[in-house]
Amino acid sequence: MFIQQLVNGLILGSTYALIALGYTMVYGIIELINFAHGEIYMFGAFAGLLLVTVLKVPFFLAFFLAMALAALLGMTVEFLAYRPLRHSTRLAALISAIGASIFLQNLALLIMGAQPYTFPSPVEAKVYQTPFFTISRLEIIILIFSFLLMIALTLFIQRTKIGKAMRAVAQDKDTASLMGININQIITVTFAIGSALGAASGVMVGIYFRTVTFSMGLMPGLKGFVAAVLGGIGNIPGAMMGGILLGITETIGAAYISSQYRDAVAFALLIMVLLLKPTGLLGRPVQEKV
Amino acid sequence: MLRIENVSAGYGSIRVLHQINLHVNEGEIVCLIGSNGVGKTTTLKTISGLLRPEEGRIYFRNRDISRTPPHKIVEMGISHVPEGRNVFPRLTVRENLELGAYARKDKAEIKRDYAMVMQTFPQLALREKQSAGTLSGGEQQMLAIGRALMSRPRLLLLDEPSMGLAPLFVLGIFEIINEINRQGTTILLVEQNAQLALRTAHRGYVMETGRIVLDDSTEALLKNSRVRKAYLGE
Mean pLDDT of chain A, nearest integer: 92
pLDDT, greater one: A246 or A288: A246
Q: Closest partner residue to B82 among A161, A171, A178, by Cβ?
A: A178
pLDDT recorded at residue A259: 84
Chain A residues with beta carbon closer than 8 angstroms to that of B80: 178
Domain B2-84+149-231 has CATH 3.40.50.300: yes
Name the minimum distance, in Å, from the CA of B118 to any CA of chain A: 19
* Domain span holding position A17: 2-276
Q: Are B74 and A178 in contact (CB < 8 Å)?
A: yes
Residue A286 belongs to a domain: no
Residue B158 pairs in a beta bridge with B81, B189
Which of A162, A166, A179 to probe the B interface (max B CBs under 10 A)? Answer: A179
The tally of domains found in chain A comes to 1
Instruction: Collect all residues of chain B within an 8 Å Cβ-Cβ radius of residue A285.
Output: none
Long-range contacts of B196-202 (CB under 8 A, 24+ apart): B196/B162, B196/B170, B197/B31, B197/B33, B198/B31, B198/B33, B198/B222, B198/B227, B198/B232, B200/B29, B200/B31, B200/B174, B201/B28, B201/B29, B201/B30, B201/B31, B202/B28, B202/B29, B202/B30
In a domain, A256, yes or no: yes
A289 pLDDT tier (thresholds 50, 70, 90): very low
Which residue on chain B is closest to A182 by alpha carbon?
A: B71
Task: Name every residue in A having a CB less than 8 A away from some CB of B.
Answer: 161, 164-165, 167-168, 171-172, 174-183
Give the one of A175, A182, A183 whose C-beta lies nearest to B86's C-beta. A175
Is the CB of B86 less than 8 angstroms away from the CB of A181?
no
Closest CA–CA distance from residue A160 to any residue of chain B (Å): 11
Position B167 scores a pLDDT of 85
Q: How far is A290 from chain B (nearest CA, A)?
A: 12
A179 and B74: CB-CB below 8 Å?
Answer: yes
Are A182 and B71 inside 8 Å of each other by CB?
Answer: yes
Residues of A within 8 A of B95 (CB-CB) are 164, 167
Question: What is the pLDDT at residue A286?
Answer: 61
Which of B50, B89, B103 lies nearest to residue A171, judging by beta carbons? B89
Q: Does B52 touch chain A (CB under 8 A)?
A: no
Instruction: For residue A180, give the chain B residue with the closest CA.
Output: B71
Question: Is B71 in Cβ contact with A161 (below 8 Å)?
Answer: no
* Rounded to 5°, angle at Cα B76 from B73 and B80: 50
pLDDT tens digits, A15-67: 999 999 999 999 999 989 999 999 999 999 999 999 999 999 999 999 999 99
In a domain, A136, yes or no: yes
Which among B50, B71, B86 has the least Cβ separation from residue A181?
Answer: B71
B48 reaches A (C-beta below 8 A): yes
Interface pTM, i.e. ipTM: 0.90
Query: Within a domain: residue A285?
Result: no
Q: Which of B11, B45, B71, B145 to mutate to test the interface with A (most CBs of A within 10 A)?
A: B71
Gap between the Cα atoms of A194 and A170, Å rounded: 15
pLDDT tens digits, one per residue of A171-181: 999 999 999 99
Contacting residues for A231 by C-beta, under 8 A, at least 6 apart: A20, A24, A237, A238, A239, A240, A241, A242, A243, A245, A280, A281, A282, A283
**What average pLDDT does this structure show over A184-191?**
96
Judge whether B131 is closer than 8 Å to chain A, CB to CB. Answer: no
Q: How far is B223 from chain A (nearest CA, A)?
A: 36
User: Is residue A82 domain-resident?
Assistant: yes
Query: If chain B, 234 residues long, is cut into consecutive pieces of 10 residues, what is the mean pLDDT of each piece?
Result: 93 91 95 90 95 94 94 95 88 95 92 93 91 90 93 94 85 91 94 90 93 91 87 78
Q: B102, A165: Cβ pair inside 8 Å?
A: yes
Residue A128: CATH number of its domain: 1.10.3470
Q: A175: which chain B residues are within 8 Å (Cβ-Cβ)? A: 82, 86, 88
Alpha-carbon separation of residue A219 from A214, A248, B113, B142, B191 (angstroms): 12, 16, 52, 49, 55
Closest residue on chain A to B149 (Cα) = A179
What's the confidence (pLDDT) of residue A191?
97
At A290, is the pLDDT very low, low, confident or very high (cuts 50, 70, 90)?
Answer: very low
- The residue extents of the domains of chain B are 2-84+149-231
Q: Find all residues with CB under 8 Å of B215, minimum gap 6, and list them.
A: B22, B203, B204, B205, B206
| Residues 6+ positions from A279 with CB-CB distance below 8 Å | A232, A285, A286
pLDDT of residue A277 exceeding 50: yes
Separation of alpha carbons B64 and B71, rounded Å: 15
